[in-house]
Structure 1
């Protein structure tokens, strides 16, 4: 929704209001991300049990807990920033960034874990 708010404010010629809307959205999403980051870090033993009671799964979740917490924190801000960019009319830049992030960062090299498919 921040894309619509920013686009409406820019369309009305209110650059300051668009900047304020973007800042409020980023701060709000960061606070929400920090909340869930802390929930995962504080309730570290209980988070495992949300997924399974199997020992190998509990061990895997425990090993990835910090990564999960940071991913949630970063992914709370990224959609807001993409929305601001789309609202500002930078759709093509956002598309290239999303493609690069997906194919360069998101898709690991084949067989990087040593597992055979």
Structure 2
């Protein structure tokens, strides 16, 4: 096991990850979105197929990039809009199904 992966084993909270990778963060954003940030971070890492063969420094840089990206997703948006978890994907779908265009409520203009 490398020093990098050994260090990762010690991280538990979203704040631990953010501090370890030197990502500046607003505690209010993390407080509301901590699980979503970590899930998105995991998703980004899983989709990154270019990390094989990287040394610890390269891995650390790539992890930091994905964590910063995951955090920023929730600075500019929210969990429902980002559809991080299945429950949010289902809620977004339900909201789309309930969408009623304004024109249909107003009726046709009288001519």
Tell me the TM-score normalized by structure 2: 0.27
Question: Could you say which structure has the higher helix fraction?
Answer: 1
Greater relative CO (CA pairs within 8 A, separation 6+): 1
Larger Rg: 2
